[in-house]
Amino acid sequence: MVNETQHSCSGSSSSRSDGGSSSGSEGSKDSSRCSTPVLDADRHERLREKMRRRQEAGDKWFSLEFFPPRTANAAVNLISRFDRMGAGGPLFIDVTWHPAGDPGSDKETSSMIIANTAVNYCGLETILHMTCCNQTKDDITGHLQKAKRLGLKNIMALRGDPTGEEWEEEVDGFNHAVDLVKHIRNEFDDYFDICVAGYPKGHPEAESYEADLRHLKEKVFAGADFIITQLFFRPETFLKFMKDCQAIGITCPIIPGIFPIQGYHSLRQLVKLSKLEVPQEIKDVIEPIKDNDAAIRNYGVELAVSMCRELLDSGMVHGLHFYTLNREVATTEVLKRLGLWKEDPRRPLPWAVSAHPKRRVEDVRPIFWASRPKSYIYRTQEWDDFPNGRWGNSSSPAFGELKDYYLFYLKSKSPREELLKMWGEELTGEESVFEVFTCYITGEPNRNGYKVTCMPWNDDPLATETNLLKDQLEKVNRRGILTINSQPNINGKPSTDPIVGWGPSGGYVFQKAYLEFFTSSEIVTALLKVLKKYELRVNYHIVNVKGQNITNAPDLQPNAVTWGIFPGREIIQPTVVDPVSFLYWKDEAFALWIEQWAKLYEEESPSRMIIQYIHDNYYLVNLVDNDFPLENCLWQVVEDTFELLN
C-alpha cells in the first residue's frame, strides 16, 4: 500500500456515509487516546464496521441468539453458556425482549441485565432486542438511555406482538418497527447500530410479500444498519428474498436466521408462533422419529449444515445467525461442521476484554483479580479512564467499594449445601482448611467423598495454566501455604500457544512466575528471613487484614508480570502486580473468607471461629520471581521457609 506523507493520527473514528453525524464527544475522546497500541482492531470498531471488514476480507462469521431466562439460577447457567459459546468466536450475540418479563428492569433475569452481563462481564458484542408497540415514547427512551449507560451499542428494533386481542394502531404511537428505528435515530443520532427483522416468506400480517419488502426498505432507509431474517427451511427461500431486496434497493447486509431443528415439540411451538409452514419433505422425516430426541437433533444438525453450506456457497451470504433456543449442542455442532467454530480462540489479551465502549482502550489489569474478572469489572465500572498501556499510580482511580457482595454475578454459583459438602460441614482446626485447599488443587475428593470444584477466590476449577504447577501447589497447600493465585514463568512462547498464548499471531509472550497465598504469621516470619537471600530476585508484598504492609517493591511501582512482543507494535504489558491496587484487592480477598466461608456456619460455632481466626491473623502474600528466563525460584523460597521452620 502506498500512503502519501501523513503526519496525522490515524485513529478509529467512524464516518458514516448513510446519514447521521457521529457524536462529537466520542470522537474527540478517541483521538486523545490514539497512543494506545491497537492489539485488536475489533475492539475499536462498531458492529457494522466489523461486519463490513469481515465481508471485505472474505471471512465468514456467525452470531447467536438467546432469550432471557426465567429464574436467577437459569441466569447463572446462561452466563456460563455465554462464556463457553463466546469462546467459539461469534461476531455478536443477541438477547430477545420479552415484554411480559419486565425486560428493561434491573432483575437478574431481565433482557436488559442479561445483555449487560454479556457485554460487560463476558466481553461479547451484543444486540439487545427492543419492541415498541403498546409502549410510551418515554418508556422507550428510558430503555434506550439505560442500554447506552450500560455500554450496549446495538439495538434490534422490532414491533413486538400486540398483547390485546383487538389491537389498533395508535395515532402518534409506535405502531411499526420503523417508528422505533426513526425514534432511535432522532433521539440518539448515530450512537446505536440498528438491526431490523426481515421475513423471507413475508410477515404473516403483511398484505403481501411485496408490501412487506417495501416495509423492510422503509426500515432500512429510516436508519437500520443491517437485517436479520426470520427462520426458513429452504436455502432458496432466503436467496430469492435477498435478490428481491436488492432489486428494490436494499443494499445493507442481510443475515439469514438459521434454526437447527432440536426436537419435535420446539419445532411445533416455533411454527405455531411464526406461522411458518414446515415443508413436506421435512415433516416426512420427522414424524416417524418424533419421540427420539437424539435422532431429531441429528437430523436437524444435518439439515442445517447442508442449508448453511448452500447459503455460503452462493457467495451472497457472509454471516449466519443462529436461533439457539438457549441450547448449546446442536448449534455448536453445526458450527464445528461448517468450520466456523474457532477451535483455538485467540485471546486478545490474557484476560477477557469487556465489550463496554468505555473499556475498549483498557489493556492493563492487576493480576489479583485473575480468577475474579467479573468482580474487577464491577469494582471499576465507575472509572472514566482505564490505564491504557500503563498501570501507573496516578492513573489508578479508586476502586468501587465492597458493599454489594450479593450482586448476582459476584456470588458463588453453588448453593450453601453444596459449599458445605466441599468446604466441610464442620471444621476441626486450621488443618481442615489446609485440606480443603489441597483437595481443590488435586481434584481428589475430600474426606467425605466430595470434590472441591470451587473456592471463595476461584469460582471455577483450576485453570489449565495453573495445572502446570499442580504438584508443587499441592505440596505447599498441605503445609499451610494457602494458594489462591499463581502463574508459571514463560520465556517467549509463541503468541499462538494454546495454553499461555494471547494477542495477534507472530508475537511472543512472556510471564514472570507469580504466587499468591494466605499464610500464618509464623510462616511469614520465616519467609521474610528466607526472602533476604532472594532480595534482588524476588519482589514481595505481605499484608494482613489491618493493612500492615511489608514489601521490597521500589517506590510503589507496578511490576509487569505478563507481557507480549508483537510485529510492528509497542510492547503490551496487560498484567501487573500493582502495589496500590493490591491494598484494594486485600480487602476483597480477606472479606471472602467471611462472606463466602465463615457465614456458612452458625455464629459462635467452632467452624466459624476457625475461619474468623484465619481472617484476623493470617497474612496475604504475593511473590514475583523477576528472573523469568531461569527456573522459577518461588518453590525453593517456600521450601527454604519450611526448612527454617523445622
Residue positions annotated with a catalytic role: 65
Distance separating alpha carbons of residues 429 and 438, to the nearest angstrom = 15
DSSP state of 246: H
Q: Using CB under 8 A, which of 299, 405, 450, 508 touches its own copies?
A: 508
Q: Which residues contact 254 (CB under 8 A, 6 or more apart)?
A: 198, 226, 227, 229, 241, 242, 245
Query: Least CB distance from residue 301 to its own copies, whole Å?
Result: 36
Identity of the amino acid at 1: M
Q: Is 389 left (phi over 0), alpha (psi -120 to 50) or beta?
A: left
When the beta carbons of 126 and 511 are compared against its own copies, the nearer one is 511
226: part of which helix (H) or strand (E)? Answer: strand 226-231
Residues of this chain, 573-602, that bind its own copies according to CB under 8 A: 573, 576, 580, 583
Distance separating alpha carbons of residues 374 and 357, to the nearest angstrom = 17
C-alpha cell at 405: 457482595
When the beta carbons of 499 and 630 are compared against its own copies, the nearer one is 630
Q: Using CB under 8 A, which of 570, 616, 631, 643 touches its own copies?
A: 570
Sign of the alpha-carbon dihedral angle for 341, 347, 351, 355: negative
Q: Does 27 bind its own copies (CB under 8 A)?
A: no
Q: Which residues pair with 81 in a beta bridge?
A: none
Q: Using CB under 8 A, which of 324, 559, 596, 607 touches its own copies?
A: 559
Distance separating alpha carbons of residues 199 and 212, to the nearest angstrom = 8
Give the N- to C-terminal CA distance of the chain in Å, as an integer. 68
CA nearest to 325, candidates 58, 552, 41, 85: 85
When the beta carbons of 35 and 163 are compared against its own copies, the nearer one is 35
Distance separating alpha carbons of residues 138 and 135, to the nearest angstrom = 8
Query: Least CB distance from residue 34 to its own copies, whole Å?
Result: 4
> Among the candidate windows 111-119, 204-212, 543-551, 633-641, which touches its own copies by CB under 8 A?
543-551
Site string for its own copies, 29-48 (x = CB under 8 A): --xxxxxxxx--x-------
Q: Using CB under 8 A, which of 82, 566, 593, 618 touches its own copies?
A: 566
When the beta carbons of 80 and 549 are compared against its own copies, the nearer one is 549
Q: Using CB under 8 A, which of 628, 632, 637, 641 touches its own copies?
A: 628
> Among the candidate windows 102-110, 115-123, 144-152, 553-561, which touches its own copies by CB under 8 A?
553-561
Query: Least CB distance from residue 554 to its own copies, whole Å?
Result: 5
When the beta carbons of 35 and 314 are compared against its own copies, the nearer one is 35
Residues of this chain, 161-200, that bind its own copies according to CB under 8 A: none
Identity of the amino acid at 208: S
Query: Least CB distance from residue 550 to its own copies, whole Å?
Result: 5
Distance separating alpha carbons of residues 483 and 436, to the nearest angstrom = 11
Identity of the amino acid at 390: R
> Among the candidate windows 240-248, 303-311, 591-599, 626-634, which touches its own copies by CB under 8 A?
626-634
Query: Least CB distance from residue 143 to its own copies, whole Å?
Result: 36
Query: Least CB distance from residue 568 to its own copies, whole Å?
Result: 4
When the beta carbons of 55 and 626 are compared against its own copies, the nearer one is 626
Q: Using CB under 8 A, which of 164, 401, 568, 646 touches its own copies?
A: 568
Query: Least CB distance from residue 557 to its own copies, whole Å?
Result: 6
Whether residue 302 contacts residue 310, with contact meaning beta carbons closer than 8 Å, is answered with no
Residues of this chain, 485-504, that bind its own copies according to CB under 8 A: 491-492
Whether residue 438 contacts residue 424, with contact meaning beta carbons closer than 8 Å, is answered with no
Residues in contact with its own copies, counted by CB under 8 A, come to a total of 66
DSSP state of 627: -
Query: Least CB distance from residue 491 to its own copies, whole Å?
Result: 7
Query: Least CB distance from residue 395 to its own copies, whole Å?
Result: 5
Q: Is 455 helix (H, G, I), strand (E, B) or coil?
A: strand
Whether residue 502 contacts residue 601, with contact meaning beta carbons closer than 8 Å, is answered with no
Catalogue the E-assigned strands of 512-579. 513-519, 538-544, 549-551, 559-565, 572-577
When the beta carbons of 72 and 571 are compared against its own copies, the nearer one is 571
Q: Using CB under 8 A, which of 164, 294, 536, 604 touches its own copies?
A: 536
When the beta carbons of 38 and 64 are compared against its own copies, the nearer one is 38
When the beta carbons of 101 and 392 are compared against its own copies, the nearer one is 392
Residues of this chain, 395-424, that bind its own copies according to CB under 8 A: 395
When the beta carbons of 279 and 397 are compared against its own copies, the nearer one is 397
Cβ-count burial 172-204 (b if 16+ within 10 Å, e if not): eebbbbbbbbbbbbeebbbbbbbbbbbbbbbbe
Whether residue 387 contacts residue 401, with contact meaning beta carbons closer than 8 Å, is answered with no
Whether residue 162 contacts residue 134, with contact meaning beta carbons closer than 8 Å, is answered with yes
Residues of this chain, 275-314, that bind its own copies according to CB under 8 A: none
Neighbours of 547 (CB within 10 A): 9
Per CB under 8 A, residues contacting its own copies are: 1-7, 9-10, 31-38, 41, 389-395, 491-492, 505-508, 510, 536-537, 539, 547-560, 563, 565-571, 573, 576, 580, 583, 624, 626-629
